[in-house]
Amino acid sequence: MADAPPLEIPEDGRLAANITHFARALRKAGLRLGPGKVLGAIRAVAAAGFTDRRDFYWTLHASFVSRPEDRAIFAQTFRLFWRDPRYLEQMMSLLLPSIRGLQEDRKAAAAERRAAAALLDGMIPEGIEAPPAPDDELQIEGDATGTSSGEERLRTLDFEQMSPAEMAEARRMIARLHLPVPPLASRRTAPAARGPIADWRRTIALSLRRGGEIGTLATRRRRARQPNLVVLCDISGSMSHYSRMVLHFLHAVANQKGAGGWADVHAFTFGTRLTNITRHLARRDVDQALAAAGAEAQDWQGGTRIGGCLHAFNRDWARRVMGQGAVVLLITDGLDRDPASDLAREMERLHLASRRLVWVNPLLRFQGFAPRARGIATMLPHVDTLVAGHSVATLAALGAALSASAGSGEKDRLLALMRG
């Protein structure tokens, strides 16, 4: 607030309409707003006045912000919408790197890009063109008329082939995905009306109230508990397009509430070293969560040392997060660059410590994929299931792969290719 330019209130008497447009931009950015809150904000501004810029900011803040994770989005949207008369140039400079308005050449803040996209709503003013694609990039165009809807096409489109607009829409689709998990039978029991286990202690206690006569047999059944999910995500250069989308999906899973969720979600990234990003995923705002995770993981788009990173996990973290039968999700293409590590031994240790080990490999998007790389051939025998992870549809299908009754996916077929 202190470093923002003075607030300019328009004199055309359209303040109520501007507040309505501002609320519409906030709603597109992710805030939960309805007509009632908009009317309340207009009445609050009319009652409090708008002679002081801080009063105006906090009046709208009190009217529109109801969750802590919405504060950053509100602040950035307010700055762009109300503070700068040339805010459109700023927004375009955030979304298109080749355009320079008043915005300096810097990285956008956590919620700044989302606020700019919400205010622009996909529109590009006249005279401004998006930067052309590099000449060496292959552009494939086709007529999808009569084939499937745009959303269905986007569900099956490879992340690496998506445009920035399609990536943004895919992230919104991923945020709505769920990863249901069947509960596990615990060793602990609880009283039940028709349970399979006799509760003799409670039966005797009830009989004492009748002078020692046993009238009914009390029973118990095993309690159900939710398992833990441990995710190991490769963020090396060959996985950069996929790891970012997977982390969006992981954030949605970690913040899922209600029945069918996981007890705890532990997330680690690895490239040349292992990084624990679990605490960052606890942030409700996905932009802030991934920005904090990226700041801590210093090996983004670097090399790949799968064996060394798995050794660090098995040594330092396995006993802390793998107790009580955790399900492990290993997301990597398997292209290990560390010949000195004992990858087979570390994969075996990880497999033995997990309740189920599911390998998500984006390379399965290729129809003729074969386990020719040394790292892939070494890792394959030590996983329970091998599935693809290159599109929204494949991420949505992970629920079946994580089930204990699910099959092995592509593992058996690739093992047969190795033996043949």
List, for residues 18-50, the tens digit of each pLDDT value. 888 888 888 877 788 888 888 888 888 888 877
The predicted model scores a pTM of 0.65
The Cα-based distances of 62 to 16, 29, 38 in angstroms read 17, 17, 12
Nearest to 115 by CA among 61, 78, 83: 78
Distance CA 313, CA 97 (A): 38
Given a cut of 80, is residue 93 above it in pLDDT? no
Share of the chain above pLDDT 70, in %: 78
Given a cut of 50, is residue 127 above it in pLDDT? no
Mean pLDDT of the chain: 78
Q: How confident is the model at residue 105 (pLDDT cuts 50, 70, 90)?
A: very low
**CA triple 261-267-271, angle to 5 deg:** 150
Which residues are within 8 A (CB) of 221 and not within 5 positions of it... i.e. 6 or more apart? Answer: 189, 190, 192, 195, 196, 197
Distance CA 206, CA 214 (A): 8
List, for residues 175-211, the tens digit of each pLDDT value. 888 887 777 788 888 888 888 899 889 888 888 888 8
More confident of the two residues 33 and 108? 33
